[in-house]
Amino acid sequence: MTSLASSEASAVPDDEPTRSPAGRDPKSPPRAARRRNRRPIRRATIVVHRWSALVLGSLLVLQCTSGAILLYHGELFRMSHRSFYQQTASTPVVTTEQAVDIVRAADPDFDIGWVGSDGGVIAVGDRGFSTAYSVDPGTGRVNGEAGLTDGALGWLVNLHDCALGCPRYVGTLSALNEHVPVFGVTWAHLILGTLGLLLVLLAVSGAVVWWPSLKRWRHGFRVRTKKGRFARDRDLHNVIGIVSVPFLLMWGITGAAFEFPAVEQAWLALTGGKTVTAMPEDTFTPRSAASPRAPVSIGDASAIAQQQVQGRLAYLMLPSENADYYRAAMAGRYSPHDNRAFYSGDVYVYINAADGSDVKVVDSSHDRPLANTFYDKVFQPAHFGWMVNGWWRILWLLLGLTPLALAVTGLSTWLTKNRTKRNARRVRTTSAADPVDR
């Protein structure tokens, strides 16, 4: 036996590693040792996940919960402004141009900046998008005036979109509009951008902490309801977290990109897109007419926009002293549902106010890589839930509330664990003070 074993060993080539009967390389560390080597990384990830959630978790929960409510901004606005949307059942006889004249006659001091449609009525608003009049298209009656930035909804939009830093909204804190010297942005932008990056960090670190191993991946989706409060809440925390990771990453990336353009540029670079530095409203310069022409009317501008883009005209910005052109926001074929009041559309059409033939269409799906179209038509609208109807947005609502559920379950497990440790220390202290006779 010995000589046979020796001969077999000598027959093994020098460059081939000798393996154990189980097929494992004896030079490689045991499985338990490999797990120990991974523990420092896992522990560091747990520390980052836990303390970032504890330090800024309350702000993040407030941000995500307010965003979940604003998924139904359009429905809530229409519900709270019923008189604004009063209309007759007759066929519309009032055009948008006539509606502008009607509002101008009713309130000569009103600085009209745009006209559009919402909920069946014609809306005529100011240039600051803070106030709008409603005109019944069937009778031409002015329903009244509505504030777009006040009330509970205005405060909620200011909280979620601006971190209470938008001057035209109710509840603004002027200190948040001051610039941060090092970063070159306002405090409000810094807060929102940081919360977006924090959400990405928590989603990634949470997924790493959750990963049970390839063989035990099914255990990551179980909820032990009969093993006590700690096991139940911990399992709920893990399951809710891993299911919501795709949405949390989407909200975190797009939320940070709204405040930090470098995040959007980095995302487009990673996905093969083309970085775009200019905003759509900065890309049109009207040409000078060779000969005087009749000014383009509101009705003509609307017709030109609808000829250029098949879809619904969301609103039409009127010419001003600083911009001698119309800007039409069209809800094109990629347009999401009209969920938010006065939705802005997804395609811009610029029309020279003095020359109707001078037109430019700005659409991210034109002459740009697929990554740009995906970001502008799918990824970014998904942040607001604009791409689905009200019923499908229930899924957005539930996933938008997951940070709140994660905060509750995470805090519960942390408190339960600390209470267990305190009880164990109390038992050890009592045992040391009263030794048992042997």
Strand runs labelled E in 46-111: none
pLDDT of residue 117: 87
- Output the CA angle 348-351-356, nearest 5 degrees: 145
pLDDT of residue 376: 86
Rounded-to-integer distance, Cα 92 and Cα 86, Å: 13
pLDDT of residue 6: 37
Rounded-to-integer distance, Cα 420 and Cα 426, Å: 10
Residue 179 DSSP one-character state: B
The phi-psi region of residue 163 (left if phi > 0; otherwise alpha if psi is between -120 and 50; otherwise beta) is: left
Neighbouring-strand partners of residue 21 = none
pLDDT of residue 390: 84
> Residues in the chain with pLDDT < 50?
1-24, 31-34, 438
pLDDT of residue 101: 96
pLDDT of residue 102: 96
Neighbouring-strand partners of residue 146 = 132
pLDDT of residue 347: 86
Neighbouring-strand partners of residue 313 = 330
Please give the order of strands across the beta sheet that includes 121-126. 142-147, 131-135, 121-126, 112-118, 312-317, 325-331, 347-352, 355-362
Distance of CA 324 to the CA centre of its chain: 33
Distance of CA 65 to the CA centre of its chain: 12
Rounded-to-integer distance, Cα 116 and Cα 119, Å: 10
Q: What does the radius of gyration of the chain's CA atoms come to, in whole angstroms? A: 30
Rounded-to-integer distance, Cα 14 and Cα 16, Å: 6
Helix (H, G, I), strand (E, B) or coil at 191: helix
pLDDT of residue 245: 94
pLDDT of residue 385: 87
Q: Which residue has the tokens 């993040």?
A: 60
Q: Which long-range contacts (CB under 8 A, 24 or more apart) does 356-364 make?
A: 356/293, 356/296, 356/300, 356/301, 356/304, 358/286, 358/287, 359/304, 359/308, 360/283, 360/284, 361/308, 361/309, 362/280, 362/283, 362/284, 363/309, 363/332
Question: For the chain, what is the total number of helices (H) and then of strands (E)?
Answer: 13, 8
pLDDT of residue 277: 64
Rounded-to-integer distance, Cα 163 and Cα 156, Å: 9
229-259 vs 261-270: helix crossing angle, rounded to 10: 100
Please check whether residue 115 is in contact with residue 186, taking contact to mean a CB–CB distance below 8 angstroms: no
Please check whether residue 213 is in contact with residue 248, taking contact to mean a CB–CB distance below 8 angstroms: no
Rounded-to-integer distance, Cα 361 and Cα 161, Å: 28
